[in-house]
Amino acid sequence: MKLTEEFVGKIYNAIPTEEAIESAKLGVLDFLTSSYAGKDDPGVLKLLQLIELEGGLEITPLIGQSRMATPQQSALINGFLAHALDFDDVHVEVRGHPSAVLLPTLIALASNNEVSGKRFLQAYVVGVEVMARIARAISDQHYEKGWHNTGTIGVLAGALAGGYMLQFSRKQLAQALGFATTQSSGLRIHFGTETKPLHAGLAARAAVLSVQITMVNFLNNTSSFDDKGNYFDVYGVGTEGISSILLDGWNEGWKIDSPGLWYKIYPFCSAAFFGADAALHIGKLNLDEIKEVVITFSNNTDAALIHRHPKTGEEGRFSIEYIVSLILQGKSLDFQQFDSKPIDSVSEQLILKTARQNVKEQPSIARYTKVKVILNNGDIIEKVSTTPKGSPQNKVTKQELIDKCKSIVKSCELEDKWLNTIFSLDQHKNMSSFLSLL
């Protein structure tokens, strides 16, 4: 049996546990919170102008916009919304952002198909599973070469999750996968620009198209993981040794539970959370006393932090140098520090005193980031972080996610509707009450 056939068979037979479904509810809550936080982002306004020119049937809600759009348009905009401020969840095995692709895809497809709340949540669980397994199979080389997993792998996971939700046959799942692989895209060179979150929207839109075009039986190659020139040959390092990663252990545990989704408490790249946590343990310093700052990462775990000398706060989301400079100045890590305005001169001067280095460690060594501050008098202040808040070893709690929601929404009536609907979603026969909240 071919690898593609076996893989879609695992998806077809997937039955997420009740525990996984409860985890999915938390993911939906955080997704809506992050999307609502980004609802007024300038990039959203530009995309709204685009769909105004395009027109189309108003079928699917746009989060926080009090309007509707076509399923593909909604996937594009809701995906962008979720990821606009880099406040949405990540997954360590995905090395990317699952929910910003999966949930806009599923919302778009649920808006004009009969889907129960439980099937929606199950599909979300399956999507996270697919995205994590493909990311592990394709290897870290894919990401470190310059691809953005949220886009390149998210489209595959979105298409397969959407097909699962609509109860596709095995053949249809393979078709949807084929359409998704041929639309796989996203380069990390765009980090720090509006195009970075657009990758999530593009992937979601392509995933919706992959499902829709399968539904009209458009023909393609259904052996995406097998034939010469297959997905892993082109985007990864081939298929040798990956079958166990893709096929073993289905229905025995779920990636949404373990290692689980990493929910953010700050609006910047999670790769910087380790260094930020270390710097927070150092705290505010007298900047005139700082001679040098040295930030050490283990095993290329700073690959996403492409801006060493950022010009704007938006680029600063992907700059450990900028984030540590804010902390040493005693500044808050709020949205205003990471907008499109130029970086202030004090931060610039501190960034110039900052050096970054990487150390190759044995796989048994836990991931870490070390921040060392060397003072003019020769004193050294040094802290190391291996478990920042939100990471799999130090998870954000359900109550903390609710508090995050309240801090963003600031409407008791809307908060209550969100919480009541999301936490009972598996009991809903259809998605109408959930969709009406958006």
What pLDDT, on the 0 to 100 scale, is given for residue 420? 96
Q: Which of 124, 183, 125 is nearest to 153 (CA)?
A: 183
Domain contains 328: yes
Q: Which residues pair with 385 in a beta bridge?
A: 369
Q: Are residues 381 and 431 in the same domain?
A: no
Q: In this structure, which amino acid lies at residue 277?
A: D
**What is the rounded average pLDDT of the residues 211-217?**
98
- Residues 265 and 247: their CA atoms lie apart, in Å, by 34
**Domain range enclosing 365:** 270-385
Instruction: Supply the mean pLDDT for the chain.
Output: 97
What pLDDT, on the 0 to 100 scale, is given for residue 411? 78
Q: The CATH number of the domain where 287 resides is what?
A: 3.30.1330.120
Is the pLDDT confidence value at 76 over 70? Answer: yes
Q: Are residues 37 and 167 in the same domain?
A: yes
User: Per-residue confidence at 365, pLDDT binned at 50, 70, 90?
Assistant: confident
Q: In this structure, which amino acid lies at residue 399?
A: Q
Q: Are residues 214 and 363 in the same domain?
A: no
User: Per-residue confidence at 105, pLDDT binned at 50, 70, 90?
Assistant: very high
Domain contains 329: yes
**What is the rounded average pLDDT of the residues 110-127?**
97
Per-residue pLDDT tens digits for 265-286? 999 999 999 999 999 999 999 9
| Percent helix, percent strand, percent coil in the chain, to nearest 5 | 55, 10, 35
Q: Are residues 137 and 251 in the same domain?
A: yes
Q: Tokens in use for 369?
A: 């980031």
Q: The CATH number of the domain where 143 resides is what?
A: 1.10.4100.10
Q: Is the pTM of this model over 0.95?
A: yes
**What is the rounded average pLDDT of the residues 27-49?**
97
Domain contains 390: no
Q: Which of 190, 172, 199, 187 is nearest to 75 (CA)?
A: 199
| Residue 152 host element (H or E) | helix 149-152
Q: Are residues 13 and 131 in the same domain?
A: yes
Q: How many domains does the chain have?
A: 2
- Residues 48 and 73: their CA atoms lie apart, in Å, by 9
Per-residue pLDDT tens digits for 401-426? 999 999 999 877 788 999 999 999 99
- Residues 150 and 186: their CA atoms lie apart, in Å, by 8
Q: Are residues 299 and 218 in the same domain?
A: no
Domain contains 283: yes
Q: Are residues 48 and 148 in the same domain?
A: yes
Q: Are residues 228 and 280 in the same domain?
A: no
Per-residue pLDDT tens digits for 329-363? 999 999 999 999 999 999 999 999 999 999 998 87
284-294 burial, b at 16+ Cβ within 10 Å, e below that, comes to: ebeeeebeebb
Q: Tokens in use for 208?
A: 């919706």
